[in-house]
Structures are given as C-alpha cells and as structure tokens.
Amino acid sequence: MSDTLVPGPRPGPPYRAVRRRWAAAGLALALLVAATGCTGSRERTAATEPTGDATPVAVTGPLCAALPSGAEPGSPGSLVGLPPDRALTWIPVLTTFEAAVRATGMAGELSATAGVTILAPTDDAFRARFSTANLDQLLLKETDTLRALLREHLATGARPVAELVAAGTVTTRAGSTLAVTAAGSGARVADRAETVCADYRAAGARIHVIDEVLGDLPVTAHEEEHHH
C-alpha cells in the first residue's frame, strides 16, 4: 500500500532538496492522498511507471536543471509514454497541481484524443496565490470551483512552447483567450506567468511548468500573515 501513497521512488541526490522545498504544505494534500491511496490510485505497472530510458526530450527553462534528468525516474525522457495524469506525479514541483487533478477527477480530460497542453503551476505558485485554508477548501469541498480553475490551465492540442509563442494566443478549456509572448527560451502567458520548465511530453500531451496560477480566483495567501 505504501507504493500508492508516494508519487514516485525516493528521490536521488540531485533533486532531493528540490522535492523537499516544493512539497505541498496543506493538510488537504495529506488527507487527499490518504483517502485515495488504497482505492483511487491505480496500482503501478511497467506501463505506468517511468522506464528509466533516456529518450531524448529537450525541456527548457531556468528550473529544468534542478529537476530529474537523464535516466532518473521523472526525467523528461522517462515520461514520454505515460498518461498525462501519471506523468504529473513524477515532476517533483507539481504535487499540488497533481493533487487538484485527482481531487476533481479530471484525469480523463487530460487524456482526450485531441491531445492537451497543460500549463501546470508549481507548488510555490499555489502557495503564493492561496492560503493553506483556502487551498484545503478547494481540494476537499469546492471541487467545482477547483475544476474550473484547472481548465484555465488546459488547452486542446499538445502544443510545444514555440508553437504557443508563434500563435500569440492560446484558448483554454475554460474559454479564456490568453496572450502568449516569448520570454527567454520559453513563454510568458497572460502577461503574468512564465514557463520555468517547458516541453515535457506525455502521451498525447505537452506539459509546461509555469510560475504563477492563472484564472481570476482571489489571492488569499496574505490572509495567513494575519493569523500569525
């Protein structure tokens, strides 16, 4: 049962510190994992785990160097054949986003036959946007609101970051049209979020890790300061 409670094998030395740094702090994440660990999570098989094969996949952004690489589990090459929801579990800085996908039952939407572009905010981005209490509320009770928020981070078609920049806009599955401009080797989305490690490839998906949460939900992170 322990295998179902942990997104991946114990991180190796190159990124153990990064995983600790970005591990989600909210109680809701622990509760969600406990609630789904024995019933909601699929048993791992060779088809749903990173193979360790270093399939050449070029990712780009300032955070990439701190994330798994080469033949390490969770490296870009090892995620190529995984369903998108499973690939998310192996990217150490996306524990909150992955928990939100699980809490809202949106794994199927990430595996749509038309493909999907996933703009996935880091755990730090969620903490900068929401208080722990607010995030707990979204994960455990306000799942319709959370589902709508996640759709602000999804677009139809598995589109590389260069293609998004060339198009100049992207329309999310929530119906929002967001401006996309070049930012270094990556992209700036909606004039606020930048890709920090772009162009992960999963089955029928491109995953671009971004540094801010999109959508128009209010910022509540400051509320925690008033409670201490």
DSSP state letters, 159-210: --HHHHHHHSEEE-TTS-EEEEEEETTEEEETTTEEEEEEEEEETTEEEEEE
pLDDT in tens, 140-172: 999 999 999 999 999 999 999 999 999 999 999
pLDDT in tens, 61-102: 999 999 999 989 999 999 999 999 999 999 999 999 999 999
The secondary structure of residue 43, as a DSSP letter, is P
pTM for this predicted structure: 0.80
Question: Which CATH superfamily is 2-226 part of?
Answer: FAS1 domain (2.30.180.10)
pLDDT over 70, % of the chain: 74
CA nearest 98: which of 218, 19, 7, 159? Answer: 7
Contact (Cβ atoms closer than 8 angstroms) between residue 139 and residue 28: yes
pLDDT in tens, 30-39: 445 444 443 3
Confidence of residue 14 (pLDDT cuts 50, 70, 90): very low
